[in-house]
Structure 1
Amino acid sequence: MVVLALGCDPWVGVDVERLDRSVRPLEVADRFFSPFEVDGLRSLPTERHRDRFLALWTLKEAYIKARGMGLALPLRDFSFSPDASPPSVRFEPSLGDDESRWRFERVDLDSGHRVAVAAKVPRLTVHVSRIDLEALASHVGLPHTAGAV
């Protein structure tokens, strides 16, 4: 799978996760998430932990990729409200960032993948297109790509 985010500004990040990935939501959240996010996760029934965890994780990953700093940004220093539409964020003052300048979107591509996009823009529009890799390779004149991803 390839996920591509395009923008006129360099402040764009994207993350994709498999929904069936092995994860211990509460253990990872306790280590990396803000207290607000951990409290929200713990308040849910156990069967909803994985879904909420992945919603938060993809949003956090998209943001740190957009900032270009990766895990150098402390994940505890910003909190998402993933159920808001669009998702909203709150930054700790230590990040030196402004919530009002960021836009976030979450998309479930199919029954097996979740994507989050972060962009420092006044407005964010997400378009999802599925492109068959064989057809794309053929269109641009590349040799047969069986098995290539």
Structure 2
Amino acid sequence: MMITIQVLQVPAELPEAYWNLFLSRVSEERRRQAARFVHQADAYRSVLGEVLTRVTLSKLNGLRPEGLSFTRNKYGKPALSLSNYADVQFNVSHSGDWIALISGGDADLGVDVEKISPIDMKIAERFFSLTESQFLAAEPTEMQLETFYRLWTLKESYIKAVGMGLSMPLDSFSMIRDADGNWHSPEAAAYAFLSLRLDHGHMLAACSAGEDLPAQPDVITIEELYQALL
């Protein structure tokens, strides 16, 4: 089973019929959570992330999207319940205008998408390894923000693949870029990594415990997601 990465751009506004259908296909817990959000964009990201996950995984195991149930490990990493083919691998992330889902294969998977915003680069000294901090400081000033988010998303994707959350310190391993522009980690040599910009304002990274990753994500539209639920 090949690994796929899918990305969905979150619209500023959804037609009421679409939103009602999406809400009807997620868990009761998700619906309650969506109702508590102050900003509609947060509700969209939360619900659409689960809908994309349900639609994609239902194609892998032959069950209806609404028939899937999920569990989480003690660090919060989601998985399908035993009755829903627990060996199906997936991971989901959302930030800003995008939702990203990685799925397939037999190895642990992680994905992270982040909206790129100006930050104080001193944060790198708190969370990055010495190797990464030195690499970031040596980058041209105009490239430092992009490099920071590449490092951050790569590290997050690995932590999510391992499934230990922030109980694994971010500075306990390093991400290194080789001469060909590919990323790897000496402490996680068996893992494959992918880093790319989704657009000018968002960065995506993915991680697989040994299996090859696709070079590019598949872009899913809201219309495709809606039609898949009818």
TM-score category (smaller protein): 0.7 to 0.9
Paired residue for 1:88, among 184, 189, 210?
184
Q: How many pairs are equivalent?
A: 132
1:125 aligns with 2:214: yes
TM-superposition CA deviations, 1:4-47 (whole Å, max 9, x none): 1012225100000112x2322x2211001000000111112222
Q: What is the one-letter code of the residue matched to 2:104?
A: G
Confirm or deny: 8 A CA contact 2:109 2:161 kept in the other structure.
Answer: yes
CA distance in 2, matches of 1:74, 1:29: 13
Structure 2 stretches lacking a partner, 5+ long: 1-97
Paired residue for 1:77, among 142, 147, 172?
172
Which residue is equivalent to 2:198? 109
**What's the C-alpha RMSD, in Å, of the aligned pairs?**
1.8
CA distance in 2, matches of 1:39, 1:86: 18
- Regions of 4+ moved over 3 Å: 82-85
Confirm or deny: 8 A CA contact 2:99 2:113 kept in the other structure.
Answer: no
Larger radius of gyration: 2
Q: What is the one-letter code of the residue matched to 1:15?
A: D
Indicate the structure with greater helix content: 2
Q: Percent identity?
A: 36
1:56 aligns with 2:148: no
Structure 1 stretches lacking a partner, 5+ long: 92-97, 142-149
CA distance in 1, matches of 2:99, 2:184: 26
